[in-house]
A and B are shown apart, each in its own frame.
Chain A
Amino acid sequence: EPEVTQTPSHQVTQMGQEVILRCVPISNHLYFYWYRQILGQKVEFLVSFYNNEISEKSEIFDDQFSVERPDGSNFTLKIRSTKLEDSAMYFCASRISDEKLFFGSGTQLSVL
């Protein structure tokens, strides 16, 4: 069964460093998302991406965040200068044209 793939599963970084989280969405999906979940809290929407551009972003998704779909298969989230409060599980998700959203297994980001 097709699935959304995320790498790495764990990422440890120092505050102020740049990180790139990688995702390979399901191949025929058209809409791509990043969500995050701080330990013990809600799953929060960060950004949606369609037709090679951001379609919506949340207040969390400030200038430190960016997304790219560089080659038609990968979908990346970059955090330019990480903060302690960026520590969370980051989920990539994708969907075809209906509303059913499928999540990857997540990247646990720890900022020290």
Chain B
Amino acid sequence: QKEVEQNSGPLSVPEGAIASLNCTYSDRGSQSFFWYRQYSGKSPELIMFIYSNGDKEDGRFTAQLNKASQYVSLLIRDSQPSDSATYLCAVHSGGYNKLIFGAGTRLAVHP
């Protein structure tokens, strides 16, 4: 069974701090990795994707991938209260045909 593991949290950070969210995956053959944000009662919203080892930056967000360690992370700089949500790590599986989601990490940014 291919798995994606995340710490459920909550991760509590003060406004303006860096939030660090982590994810590990079991399928060594996975090639594509995604971070989605999900507000309570809403649908997942794509915020970042990464395919290659290393860092990828997009505004306040940085995704980091280490395929040897089967580890993906998301850094959120200058965290804002509006960033408070559940962050879902997702990994492509089975020939790029579906996403396997982790259970998500709940982030709480307090003023």
Contact = CB atoms under 8 A, between A and B. Distances in A.
Interface in B90-108: 90, 92, 94, 96-104
Nearest to B51: A99
A25 interface: no
B25 to A, nearest CB: 13
Nearest to A33: B98
Contacts of B88: 43
A67 B102 CA distance: 25
A102 B88 CA distance: 14
A41 to B, nearest CB: 7
The 5 residue pairs across chains A and B that have the minimum distance between CB atoms: A43-B101, A103-B43, A45-B98, A99-B32, A42-B103
Interface of B: 32, 34, 42-46, 49, 88, 90, 92, 94, 96-104
Given A55-B97, A103-B45, 9 more contacts: A31-B97, A43-B44, A43-B99, A48-B97, A48-B98, A56-B98, A99-B96, A100-B34, A103-B43
